[in-house]
Each structure stands twice: as structure tokens, then as C-alpha cells.
Structure 1
Amino acid sequence: MNLFSLSIKNVFAKPLSSLLSVLLFGFGVAIIVAILLTSTFLKNEINKNAQGIDLVVGAKGSPLQIILASIFHIDFPTGNISLNDANNLTRNRLVESAIPLSLGDSYQGYRIVGTSKAYADLYGAKLVDGEWFGSEMTATVGAAVAKNLGLKIGDELESAHGLAEGAGGHEEHPFKVVGIMEKTGSVMDQLILVTVQSVWEVHASHEEHEHDTTSDLHEKVSLDRLGIEVTKEQLENEDITSLLIKYRSPMAAVQLPRIVNGTSNLQAASPPYETARLFNIIGVGVDVVNVLGLVIIILSATSVFIALINSLKERKYELAIMRSMGASQLKIFLLILTEGIVLTIIGSLCGFGLAHIGFGILVDSVEQIQTSGMFFVYDEYYVMLGSLAVGIFASIIPAFLAYKSDISETLSKA
């Protein structure tokens, strides 16, 4: 007697009852797996995009907002900081390197970032065509930007204020595309890189261009730690949005944020600390949804239990006949247990499939996400084992009742 094939037939003999058990179990598993996929993916993305950045320095305000705006480019900056203050900070012995960022404008929803070549190097970005931005009003665009907007070398971009499409722009100061980057799978794919001097040029008024040309003010100054060259006038009068800092030693993690926050107009934001705080905030909602998934799984286990109990009542005579024909008590026990496990496995597979399909649809609809629905995490194995354990637990009592059934009493009542 093939227990597995017989169990399959018994499961499909009651399609509505079995379908209810499978759907409940599948939804519970799908919720837990979907949350697991999403949270793990977000953590991986955050770690990947924040790699090599020990501290972000911006204008006074929310540290989390500084992180979201300067690393992930999904929020508005808290304001600007003086280039002179930023340069003085980079001279601190605790700073190994610093990357300037000037934010605020965009092109058709993609953020324009005034920075240095070191920013592209931070993500290992390489060119697929053209050259890197260097001179004023030139731009190197990310792979997703070039693909989605159909940009090519020589095209001109007219920047707009903020991140909203259709906002007021700077038509009189277009950027020229001189390079296109390869896909990196990071936030770099969604950016348009220009020099910080280009950002200043775009926002300069005509009056500012007509300042006297005193040779001292227009003398060039090399800001080695920032990787840019500016005039003395720009050093004294211009602003940037933030600095991405790398520490020289572990001691800097303790001392430098305190030094920065002691400055009246600067705010230090630690990527590890702020992202951990963000996940703590999100974690409350994640825990609630996970509890919901567990409740649904428990309900589905109860459904499996009831289905097997009802099936047992209806099949008492059938099981007694099997016993009389030589089936042992152990085989009857294993038969009922296998039916419960089959329902659990089918439900679990449906749940895993639903979660991955849903995650795949989500990531395909959000162009900033560079992955697919075939993204697997190790903890899914624990969900699988846990689901199997729940199915076995729900089947134990019905299987034991079948094991203890009295053959002679059942046949005598037939």
C-alpha cells in the first residue's frame, strides 16, 4: 500500500475542505515570507549604498533626513552648509576623506548631484560611453537615467527645482551629457552627476556674474580633501548640501560627531545609527504583520485539524476495512499524518510562490530597485521547517485517534 499516493487521493476527495486549508496556510506563509524578503532586501540595499560612508554632515535638522537625502536620495535636504565650514572640517586629523554633495535640482524626476569624481568611485562606477563630468555644465548620467530617458552623448538637460517633474527650471543653463555609466545596482544608477561649480553656476544671478574681477578673489584654491578646485570668492560665499566623510581611525567615531554637532550650523548623522533607528521604527509594523501571518497559520493548522477529524469520522468504516485486510495501526497512523503533511506542503509551496511573485511584481514596478522576485534569503528555510512542524502538530491528534480506533466496534455498527 502506497501511503503517499493514497493520502493524495484522500486529500483531493474533499476538494473544498482541502482548498480552504491550503489557502489559509498559503496566505499565512506568504505574509511572513514577503515581510522576510522585503526587510532583508532593504537591509542589504541600505548596507550596499552606505558602504564606505562613516558620517554624513549637513545643515542642522533631522539626522535621519540628512541620511535619506544624501545617501539614498529619497528626501529633501535639511538645508545648505558653508563651503568654508565644510573645508575647515575636512582638515581635522580624524577625517581621512570627504566627498561634497550639492543637491536640490532634478531632471524629469532624476536627481542632479553636484559632486566630485570620488563619489562615482565610491560605488565602483565605470563608463559605458563618453567621459566623466569635469568642466562646468557637463553631466555624466547613471545607467537607469540613460535607459529610461533615452539619453545619449551630446544631449542637453534643463534642470528643474526640487524633485517634482514639471517644476520651474533653469532653461538658460542646460547641462550637456558627456558620459553614461555602467549599471552598478546602486543608487548611482538613478543619478545625474555634475560638478559643484555647475550647480553654483545654475543658481547664480546675473548680478553675481558682474562682480568686480579682483584678481585676489578669483585666485584658484585647491581643496584637496574635497577633490575640487574653486576660487577664493567661491570658498567664502558658496554653499554645498552635505559631506560624506570617511574616518581616519576608529577613535573618530567617538570624537568627530561631537565636534561637528558643537558647530552652530553643522549636523552630524551616522548612517549605521540612523538606519538602525529607521528599522526600529519600521520594525513595529513588521512585527504586527508577522503576528498576523502567524495567526493565519494557526487558523490554517486548526482548519487542517478539523478537516482531518471530519474525514476520520466519515472514514471510520473504510479505515476499519483496511485494518481487517492487514493494515497495521502504524500504517493507519502514518496515513492520516501524511494527509496533514501533504496539505501543509501544498499550502506552504503556494505561500512561497505567492510571496515571491508578489515581491517580483513590487520590484519590477519600482525602477530604483535592482533585483528580481527570485531573491531568496536563508531564513526562508526556517519558515519552511516551521510550516512543516505546524502541519505535523495539527495532524498528530487525528492520526492518534485513527491509531486507537476499535476495529470490531466500528464493523459491528456498520
Structure 2
Amino acid sequence: MSILQLALKSLNNRKTTALLTILSIAVSVALLLGVERLRVEARNSFTSTVSGTDLVVGARSSSLSLLLYSVFHMGNATNNITWETYQDLTSDSAVAWSIPIALGDSHRGYRVVGTSQEMFPYFRYGNDQPLAFRSGMPFDDLFDAVLGSEVAASLGYQLDQDIVLSHGLESTSLQEHDDKPFRVAGILKPTGTPMDRTILISLEGIEALHVDWINGAAPNAMLAVSADKVRSMSLQPTTITAFYVGLKSRISAFRFQRKVNEYPQEAMTAILPGVALGELWQLVGSAEKALLAISVMVVIAGLIGMLTTILTSLDERRREMAILRSVGARPGHIFALMMIESMIYGVAGVILGVLFLYGLLFAIQPILQIKLGLQIAIALPGTFELLFMVAIIGCATLLGTVPAWQAYRNSLADGLTIRL
């Protein structure tokens, strides 16, 4: 009988204790690999929120503030940009395309973004992916709206359904634009970005909502302009919140950025979204390191538990070791037996932990997509994760040297001695 077969039979004889030890290692492995997978996917989702956009331009503010309200739709702009300034800057010969956005309204806690038709062919996220429709099409009518996937799923909206937008950003606004309802013209596919939690309408639609508002105050019944009447009005935007810029050549990015930052008519800021996203991740990414450290400590605790279990069982196995010695097993065989048992604990714990992890990922992937907009890819373990697994198996085997050395030193006479 080989030492491996002997180790398996020995563990089978103590299967309850062995299974509990393997389970504790598996849980710690699943936690460690799960945190690592979440960390990688969260960073990928975060940094790929916007792709293919060379510059984001808004009113003078910090780069992080501009990034938050223009890309993540969090917070408010310090000021708006006049439409004339937008047209002047985007007429630069270096500009290939531009996407204006206007913020301010909401619907049941979801942000309403006014934009142009250029949003659909030119906006990119992830690995240079364009926006795609699950159903419907881009807005075409003045009162058309395109819903992000999370908005449609959480509110249960369907195509051609009427929705009423609210003034301001409160989830329970008291000022609703109920005289000008919008029709759901399209629903986007999930992107894993803030676009999933956005309602897109035209810039003219934004103007139509507020054409009869004066200084931010709702109109009274006598001054209100109906939806039918507003269609005949000139709805040229007067201001926008920010705009995305795609350049014909990235070589001109710094020149155009300097032009925006030094624009004499208005105080504005142009940022490189990739750089700003990196800066923002440095601020919010510290939590990932803390989670990873906690997971490593849990794995260490699991391995120490394994070591404790083996050491505790040694006193009960002294006679077993003595019998093995009496039938010809050398001290080296005893040492190898204990080492192989520790390695089996590590290998079985890692395999079971991986199975736990993938089962959990299959279960929570839809929930994370809907609730957090986080797309967790269910793929084979990466290089870093494989290194974690090998390291855990190596540590388990290495820790096995402690009980192996103690068993090695036990003498045959000591093992056969009956203790009173």
C-alpha cells in the first residue's frame, strides 16, 4: 500500500474531523478568492465606466468633482456652460465628435440626463463597447425617453409606457412635470456602468420641461404651457452641464485641454477621464486592500485550525504510528504520511473552496448586476488566483512539517507503552 493510500484511509477513519477541517479551509479559500474576484471586477467596472472619450469638459472645478457629476452622475456642477461656448469649442478642427449632457431632473431617484443623438453612436464603455438596446430605439420624439437597464428592471417599465419626470434630484419630489409625460422609446442593455441607472432624453426635452418655469419655480395654472403647445416653440438649449469630446488625434488632447482651461469667456475645466478615474480609484480603492488583508487573515486562521486539529489528534494516533513502525515503516515514512495528510487537507480545501465560490457567483451575479450595476465575469481563475491556490496548498503542506516532525520523533517503545 502506498503512503498516499494509507493517508486517505487514515483520513477516512477520522472523516468527521477531516471534513470539518477541509470545510474550514474551503470557506476561507472561497472568501479570499471571492474578495480577489470582486476587487478585480470592481476595478475593471470602475475604470471602464467611460471609454474612447478623450476629454470631459465642464465648469471650473476639481477634476474629481467634474468626473463625479459628468460620468457617474453624482452631485451637481458648480456652474453650467453656455450653448454658445459649447458650439465654439466643438467647432475646433481637432474635434471629431462631442456629446453634450444636461443634468438637473430625476425620476423616482434615478438621474435624468439630457443629451443629443450623438450619445448612441459615440459613447463607449468597457472595451470600447457602444450602447446597445435590449428593446426599442433611441429617442426621436420630443417626449421620448431611453431607460437604463436597472431603471427598467427595478421599476418594471416597458416600451411605450408613460413616465412623469420630477424637478430636482429627490426620490420623492413634490414638483413633478406631470403636464408633460414622456414615453419609453427604448431600453438599453446592461452595461455595468452608471448608464444603467440613467434616463436619457433629448436636450430639447429638457428645455420643454422648463420652458414655463421662472427662476426654478413651477408655473401657475395661468402661465403653464401645455405639451402640445410646446412642440411649436423654439427649444434651442441655452446651457448644458458638461460635454464629452472625441478628438481626431490624441496628440491634440493636451492642446485642446489647454484651450479649454484658458478659455477667456468662461471658467472651465477639461480632464482626461482615464487619469481622473485613476486618481479617484486611489481614493476609494483603499477598502479593497483592507478586505484582502482580512481574507488573508481568515485563510491563516483556517490553516492554523488545520494544524491544531492534526496536533490534537497526534496523541490519539501514537499507537497507530507505533504499529506502522512495528510492521516495517521507517521514521521517514511516518514523516511523509503526515506531510501528505496536510497536503490533502490543502488540496481538498482549495478545490471545495473554488466550487463554493463559483456556486456563489452563479447565485449572486444577477443580484449584483441589478442592485449595484456590477458585472462579475464567471471565468476560469486568473494567474493571480492560481498563485493564491498554490500558495495555500504550499502553506498547508509546510505547516504539516510541525506534526510530521513530532510524529517522527515518537519512538516505537513510547507508542506501545500503555498509559494509566
Normalised TM-score (structure 1): 0.81
Written as runs of structure 1 = structure 2, the 5 A alignment for 1:9-408 is 10-11=10-11, 21-22=21-22, 25-121=25-121, 122-123=123-124, 124-167=130-173, 168-183=175-190, 186-205=193-212, 234=236, 238-263=238-263, 264-349=266-351, 351-353=353-355, 355=357, 360-361=363-364, 364=367, 367=370, 368-369=372-373, 371=375, 374=378, 377-378=381-382, 379-408=384-413
> Unaligned regions of 5+ residues in structure 1, if any?
210-229
Question: By how many angstroms is 1:73 displaced?
Answer: 3.2
CA distance in 2, matches of 1:79, 1:358: 45
Does the 8 Å contact 1:58/1:78 carry over to 2?
A: no
Quote the residue 1:411 is aligned against: 416
Distance 1:171 1:363 in 2: 33
| 1:68 positional shift | 2.9
Corresponding letter in the other structure for 2:35: I
Q: Distance in 2 between matches of 1:146 and 1:37?
A: 28
Superposed CA deviations along residues 336-360 of structure 1, whole A, max 9, x for unmatched, are 1122123223443454455556665
Q: CA deviation at 1:203?
A: 1.8
Name the Cα RMSD after superposition.
3.4
Distance in 2 between residues matched to 1:69 and 1:12, nearest whole Å: 60
- Partner Cα distance (1:377, 1:103) in 2: 41
**2:368–2:374 contact (8 Å) kept in structure 1:** no
Instruction: Measure the CA separation in 2 of the matches of 1:259 and 1:189.
Output: 33
Q: Is the 8 A contact 2:158 2:184 kept in 1?
A: yes
Deviations 1:36-78 (A, max 9, x none): 1122112222343311112211222342232233223344444
How far, CA to CA, are the matches of 1:63 and 1:293 in structure 2?
A: 33
Question: Does the CA-based 8 Å contact 1:100-1:240 persist in structure 2?
Answer: yes
Bigger mean CA offset, 172-181 vs 122-131: 122-131
Between the aligned partners of 1:252 and 1:239, the Cα distance in structure 2 is 26
User: Given that residues 162 and 183 in structure 2 are in contact (C-alpha distance below 8 angstroms), is that contact kept between their aligned partners in structure 1?
Assistant: yes
Q: 2: CA distance between counterparts of 1:249 and 1:129?
A: 34
Question: How far apart are the structure 2 equivalents of 1:102 and 1:278?
Answer: 23
* Helix, strand or coil at the partner of 1:117: coil
Per the alignment, in what secondary structure is the counterpart of residue 49 of structure 1? coil
Could you tell me how far apart the structure 2 residues matched to 1:338 and 1:50 are? 50
How many residues are aligned here? 392
Query: 2:296 and 2:149 mapped to 1: Cα distance?
Result: 41
Contact 1:336/1:399 (<8 A) preserved: yes
Describe the SS at the equivalent of 1:151. Answer: coil
Separation (CA, whole Å) in 2 of partners of 1:129 and 1:284: 39
Shift of 1:179: 3.2
Range moving further from structure 2, 47-56 or 345-354: 345-354
Q: Which runs of 5+ in 2 are unaligned?
A: 125-129, 220-232
> For structure 1, which segment, 123-132 or 81-90, has the greater mean C-alpha deviation from structure 2 after superposition?
123-132
CA distance 1:247–1:11, change in 2 (3 Å): farther
Structure 2 counterpart of 1:279, one-letter code = W
Aligned-partner residue type, residue 46 of structure 2: I
Whether contact under 8 Å (1:261, 1:267) holds in the other structure is yes
Q: Which residue of 2 aligns with 1:220?
A: none
Mapped to 1, the partners of 2:170 and 2:2 lie a distance apart of 65
Query: In 2, distance between residues paired with 1:385 and 1:366?
Result: 31
| Aligned counterparts of 1:324 and 1:177: Cα–Cα separation in 2 | 83
TM-score, scaled relative to structure 2: 0.80
TM-superposed deviation, 1:32: 2.8
CA deviation map 1:15-38 (0-9, x unaligned): 786577556544543443232112
- The aligned residue for residue 212 of structure 1 is none
SS state of the match for residue 49, structure 2? helix
SS of residue matched to 1:314: coil
AA aligned to 1:141 is: L
Give the CA deviation at 1:193: 2.0
- Residues 27, 268 of structure 1: alpha-carbon distance in 2 compared, 3 angstrom cutoff: farther
The answer to whether the Cα contact below 8 Å between 1:363 and 1:370 also exists between their aligned partners in 2 is: no
What is the letter of the counterpart of residue 270 of structure 1?
L
Contact 2:149 2:190 in 1 (8 A): yes
State the Cα distance separating 1:391 from its structure 2 match.
Answer: 0.5
Q: Distance in 2 between matches of 1:387 and 1:128?
A: 43
Between 265-274 and 21-30, report the one with greater CA deviation.
21-30
Q: Post-superposition, which runs of at least 4 consecutive aligned residues in structure 1 deviate over 6 A?
A: none
The answer (yes or no) to whether the contact 2:334–2:404 under 8 Å persists in 1 is: yes
